[in-house]
Amino acid sequence: MINFLFRLFLTFNATSLILVIYLVKSQIIINGLHPSMINLPHYISYLIYFGIPIFLTYLSLLLSNKLTDDSIEMDNGKSTIREMECANNAYLPSYLGYFFVALSIPYYDTLIFIFLILFLFTFFSQTLYFNPLFLIFGYHFYYLVTKNNIKIFLISKGKFKDPTKLNFLHLKRINNFTFIDKN
């Protein structure tokens, strides 16, 4: 159950920047919430909007410690990872697409509908939980291919160059193909 809730949370974090872009584009500000906030500059609202997904991403990194432990260990002194590819830049075009969609949405009810569709597609794809905000926390994204030709998506703070020396003993399983390295 914790894994399911965590995946829902990761999906929300990965898609929440659409909401931030829409709020900024629509110039929706928090000044009307309280009389003492009436003279706040608009950028304060925008910083708060951006700060919320950053905080939620940080919270998801903390909660990832509760996920199931896993590992990719060496086999007879040899890494079971055959190939490795950096995936940091592979999904940035998708997020730029999200930004352009958010910029072109005219009404909040349309935003809600589109956000729900993207949320569902992201959640049910169950292959990746790419969140560009992980980059702020020093995480990188990698595709790993094991000796059995299983492609794994890894979220890690490590910077890897040689797949023959990789040994992951402290992984947390997000789903069958996605792991976060907590080493």
Mention every residue, 6+ apart, whose C-beta is less than 8 A from residue 182: 64, 65, 170, 171, 172
The residue extents of the domains of the chain are 2-181
The answer on pLDDT for 30 being more than 80 is: yes
Taking only the tens place, the pLDDT of each residue in 152-173 is 899 999 888 878 778 888 899 8
pLDDT (tens digit, 9 = 90+) per residue, 36-86?
888 889 999 999 999 999 999 999 999 998 888 888 876 776 778 888 988
For the entire predicted model, the pTM comes to 0.86
